[in-house]
Structure 1
Amino acid sequence: MNRMMAPPLDAQALRRAVDWAIATRRSVRAYLPRPVPREEVEAILSIARYSASGMNMQPWHVHVLTGTAKARLSAAIAALDDDHGRSGELLEPYDYYPREWFSPYLERRRKVGWDLYGLLGIAKGDKQRMHVQHGRNYRFFDAPVGLFFTVDRELQEGSLLDYGMFLQSVMVAARARNLHTCPQAAFLKFHRQIADVLDIPGGQMLVCGMSLGYADTSSIENSLVTEREPVSAFTTFHDTSKETRA
């Protein structure tokens, strides 16, 4: 791709297309069995590789699972997850969430969780059904493609910032192809087992997993729409004097 080429659409159409791809990205938790061709996955990753990274380090490495490879991995992790005693002792390679939740993040976490469980008819305290629903993570929510993302362990926090931009690019490029995704931290506590199954070198650390495929729009969980804070809630403008004078 010629990165200096003129845009393929006029300015308004281009803006609408990019805005649409970003705004319609959401975590889809049920997929159709319709296959995603390897060429489509490669095209998504080919676009995502243009993501920004400090000093052009490009710290990402992607493992793409389909077919029997995905099924074998899912079965191994599901068996561990069902062994409640063992899975509870597993440690994640890094802290994705705060160790002590606090406001406003605690309230947001609770709301999205209970909104999803409410759609699924899972009552508060129904640990068995919660476990079953959470376990669908390890089948990639039946998506035909599962992705794992790893990073060199010797890199620092800045590379995780770079990685976030890469992951967003993957998800937006998927939307441009009418595909959906679900980024998944749920796999983290099984990072050692995943490394064993996929023969991931010891110097690589699991960042997250991701489901990729065509959304099953008939599934109730895919009707979940999460709320977003308004710009005014997270933005501080400094020195707007020129705007005022104008």
Structure 2
Amino acid sequence: MDFRTILVDLREDAARPARMETAARLAEKFGGSVVGLTAAGTHLEPFRGAGENAGQYVALAASELQQLAVEHKAALDTLIARVSPTIPTRHIVIEAEPGWALAEEGRFADLILPGPPSADADVPALLAGVAEYVMLNAGRPVLLVPGTAVPQLGGRVAIAWNGGREAARAVADALPWLAHASAVSVLLVSTGKKGGEFEAEAYRDSGKRLTAWLAAHGINASLVVAEGDPDHVVPQLAGTVQADLLVAGGYGRSRLRELVLGGTTRALLRQTALPVFMSH
């Protein structure tokens, strides 16, 4: 399956231009369309004691929403036209929180580009940020573009592989991107705990099986094996192989456990050096 319908978060942050351009270039490559989403947040009704001011509050909220929608649509149209004026686009406005809106609309898309976690600095740690919420609830892959660089099809891709369900889902979802990669590296990181050499060998065998499966899809991949804390070693290995994109499964263990103990998913969500393609 190609990426034919690409949903992009239009919230304003430093990474928005790169996020929109990425969506446009994917749509151009796969003959698809871009759907820009404006999540206006939840608007409360005026309290009963507002009296005659209630109408003013409603009118002001409607005016602000209209202004936001106009600004977002203009930004989307301008950037899409810069890439190619023939790319079909659609702009939707949902009066809901960004995470919920992207997850709901994302179920009818092939790929979702949410804003980076850096845009959610005011979200309490116990609550899921937008990107986390979308990944956990949309049932679709997400592509995080954390900075100003636009990830290019045809570049180098690294796969963070641990043999788990989430990682397998991410690799399968990323096949359209992997098929165009100039090089694919499968990163295996053994923690060196528990089974020791047995664990390392099991990881290596799982990695070999993955490369064989990729080969059946016409994708040649190499294995890169290391030992250490995956939270730190995976990004380091991605840099070593000069990856332009990292493919990873998200939350192979509970999110609460990662909040308490730390985890690779949270580390990858919060790094800013590399775009990440992630599925749950």
Q: TM-score, normalization: structure 2?
A: 0.23
- Which structure has the highest strand share of the two? 2
Of structures 1 and 2, the one scoring higher in RCO (CA 8 A, sep 6+) is 1
Normalising by structure 1, report the TM-score.
0.25
Structure (1/2) with the larger helix percentage: 1
